[in-house]
Amino acid sequence: MAAVRGVLRCALAAAVLAAALALDNGLARTPPMGWLHWERFLCATDCATDPHRCVSERLFVEMADVMAAEGWRDAGYEFVCIDDCWMAPTRDEHDRLQADPKRFPSGIRKLADYVHSKGLKLGIYSDVGNKTCAGFPGSYNHYDLDAQTFASWGVDLLKFDGCNSGSLELLAEGYRRMSVALNKTGRSIVYSCEWPFYLRPMQQPNYTEIKQYCNHWRNFFDVYDSWSSIKSILDWTALHQGSIVKIAGPGGWNDPDMLVIGNFGLSWDQAVTQMAMWAIMAAPLFMSNDLRHISPEAKWLLQNKEVIAINQDPLGKQGYQITKDKNFELWERPLSGQAYAVAVLNHQEIGGPQNFTFSLTFLGNGLACNPACSVQQILPASRDWGVYSWVSSLSVEVNPTGTVLLKVVAL
């Protein structure tokens, strides 16, 4: 009996310790949404020749203005995020990071105030090593000071990159230390990591640990404005779904990188695929595009309430691929209210629309449509498909490289 009590005490102590170690900052209960400058604006620092597109306070002020005025904030995109290349080449006389004085003459504190006045939040970028990926000062050896600086400026999110970390031990230690440092500031700051991506070539990431420190984390290469990039992210995710899907949930998300919809590289069907699949994957939704010049179609897709509701579903479960059959992939994501989001992706890059027929018993381990269900099409256009019984099949027509996104609700 005493031995059993001892074991119980140990188990209890271990449970308390595990709970204490979890990243419990109360943030990112659903995948964060916003705008991030990197994919579209990269490291453009020459404001003399290109004032409209260089990484400067003007870019973020203009983006915040548009986000508040044109429905982006109201659709849920709340973070305006600065990526690499915002800094001056050196720290200031107190060893603090400082913004480039020419490109950010008012400073980050003022920019944060402005962004907050629009009902939005500000994100910033730093790196675990001694230099960022683009060669600006990194946070190595300055984790506490940098966290305090960001908090004192009123920053709401930190994207923490993993270039130039020195070693795998220093990489892991740096990601942990910055997480603790951010929490110590007392300010709510979403912590966006790339820890598993930089670890992976050498070591299997320990996702249980990563989730204890980060609100979301990149696993794979940077997204580009191209179909081959979107395809490679989806293929990688399907290949690794056994290890990454179960770990995602409120407070911690796999991050397949930015939405590039509204730029130059994706066709309409490919843009639909990115939006649908980022919703299935419970991905953080950070657009990297120019919201000042965006087509009405891209705006409609990015602001689509029904697809955003799937992305933001409160159950917080990431979706997964159920089957791959010739040119088609069938994915599902369990949603609250006994519902499932279902995506049918046609990856054939030749010919025209193709039909995919599947039994509804495939979905939700046979439970999604038991004994019957209603089926609503969300993308590429909203359409009510009516009620189906458990033994029915669905036949879905999908354009090349496109996706049909459905919501299936058990009745």
Nearest CB to ligand GLA, comparing residues 57 and 255: 255
Q: How far is the CB of 38 from ligand GLA (least distance, A)?
A: 5
Specify the 3-state DSSP secondary structure of 360. helix
Find the shortest distance in angstroms from Cβ 108 to ligand GLA. 17
Collapsed DSSP state (helix, strand, coil) of residue 213: helix
Nearer to ligand GLA, 146 or 161 (CB): 161
H helices of 76-121, where? 107-117
Q: Are 195 and 205 in contact (CB under 8 A)?
A: yes
Sequence-ordered strand ranges (E) for 117-187: 121-127, 157-161
In the complex, minimum distance from the CB of residue 171 to ligand GLA, in angstroms, rounded to a whole number: 14
Amino acid identity of residue 30, one-letter, is: T
Task: CB nearer to ligand GLA: give 161 or 332.
Answer: 161
**Nearest partner of 329 among 365, 369, 301, 356, judged by Cα:** 356
Catalytic residue among 113, 144, 222, 235: 222
The pair of structure tokens assigned to 402 is: 């496109």
Check: CB of residue 254 under 8 Å from CB of residue 244. Answer: yes
Stated as kind and residue range, the H or E segment containing 178 is helix 168-185
Comparison of 257 and 329: residue with beta carbon closer to ligand GLA: 257
Nearer to ligand GLA, 132 or 212 (CB): 132
Residue with tokens 């995948």: 31
Active site residue 222: yes
Nearer to ligand GLA, 163 or 282 (CB): 163
Q: How far is the CB of 161 from ligand GLA (least distance, A)?
A: 5
Q: How far is the CB of 401 from ligand GLA (least distance, A)?
A: 24
Tokens 């670890």 locate to 199
Residue 210 tokens, joined: 């990563």
CB 252, min distance to ligand GLA, A: 19
> Shortest approach of ligand GLA to residue 278 CB, angstroms?
16
> Which of 221/300 has CB closer to ligand GLA?
221
Helices (H) and strands (E) in the chain, counts: 14, 16
**Least separation, in Å, of the C-beta of 286 and ligand GLA?**
10
Q: Residues 322, 332: contact at Cβ < 8 Å? A: yes
Q: Strand 403-410 to strand 157-161: parallel, antiparallel, or no bridges (unpaired)?
A: unpaired
Query: CB-wise, 133 or 171, nearer to ligand GLA?
Result: 133
Q: What are the residues binding ligand GLA (CB under 6 A)?
A: 38, 83-84, 132-134, 161, 194, 222
φ/ψ of 49, rounded to 5, equals -85, -30
What is the dihedral sign for C-alpha 62, 35, 114, 160?
negative
Catalytic member of 84, 161, 269, 313: 161
List, in sequence order, every beta strand (DSSP E) within 186-282: 190-193, 216-218, 253-255
Q: How far apart are the first and last CA of the chain?
A: 49
Q: What type of residue is 149?
A: T
Would residue 50 show up in a list of annotated catalytic residues for this protein? no
Closest CA to 82 of 110, 100, 45, 57: 57
How many CB atoms are closer than 10 A to CB 209? 14
Catalytic residues: 161, 222
